[in-house]
Structure 1
Amino acid sequence: MSSSTPEEVIVTASLTSDVARVARGMREALALVDEVLDLDHETWESTLHVGDIEFYTSKNGPYPNNQMRISVRPSMGVAALHYADHDDPEVSDAYSYTPNPSIERVHLIFSGETGRLFPRSAVISISHARAALVEWLRTRARPKCIEWRSE
């Protein structure tokens, strides 16, 4: 966990809409989470990086350790999350998890680059996804308000 306060949080996002955004402070970060959860992720996922600085992707870095990958289908009320933090001593890589996946087949994109989908068991409600993302922003750790599974 970082020693900074939630108001100092900086979130760098790469959205499914091919837009990059930076949110500074909790109010902007929460608005960004709501924006992501309103987007229909048909062909590409969104990624969020949380930290004390903005993160950029280049061959020279920096390479963020704390990332959340998100895919959402607002019309169906569902989302899926993937948490990655190589500094997490318990679980460095995990998917949101529901023990009883919906019978209805939902395709949520994990990687637009490869076409890989989230596992069906990763599909959760948008309200649970929002709660997990808010907790993640506040704690900068894997949210405990939802279940997770490593694969």
Structure 2
Amino acid sequence: MPISYSNTLAAYAVGRRVNMEEWNTITRSLEGATALGFGQPAVAGTGAHTAVPLSATGQNILGITEADPTLPRPGDAYAQYDNVPICESGVIGVLLGANVTRGAQARFDITNKVWTGAAASGTVLTIPGAQFDEAGSSGAVGKLRYRRPVPSVSA
């Protein structure tokens, strides 16, 4: 009997690499009780080799969190003490909170936990090195190209 494959599977999901272009991922432990979702910016924690969610301007961004389908609990976020894979470079799936255009500067809405091309504000932060790889619609999974510059301070 031949193996059959579905032609309706999504090509990628939030927090998953979109393709096999050159990429690099580091791992940090989640510090504190605040959950950190897949496909979201992570910043350095206060402890050695730790990370926390982006929460304000002026923070040094480590990268974008990757999804881990092997977590022992349901959900799409990391909890305290979890090992968090963080994409320093590559193309990764993220949740869009607005319609975006290809090549636009990517910004993260720290209140709604979504990516947008909207103007920067107190809660919509510019992520250096992040741009949308293609146009996308609000509520969809979009392609985000990320190359971590040093320093990578949110604005």
Where relative contact order (Cα < 8 A, 6+ residues apart) is larger, the structure is 2
Larger Rg: 2
TM-score range, shorter chain: under 0.3
Q: Tell me the TM-score normalized by structure 2.
A: 0.26
TM-score under structure 1 length normalisation = 0.26
Q: Which has the higher strand share?
A: 2
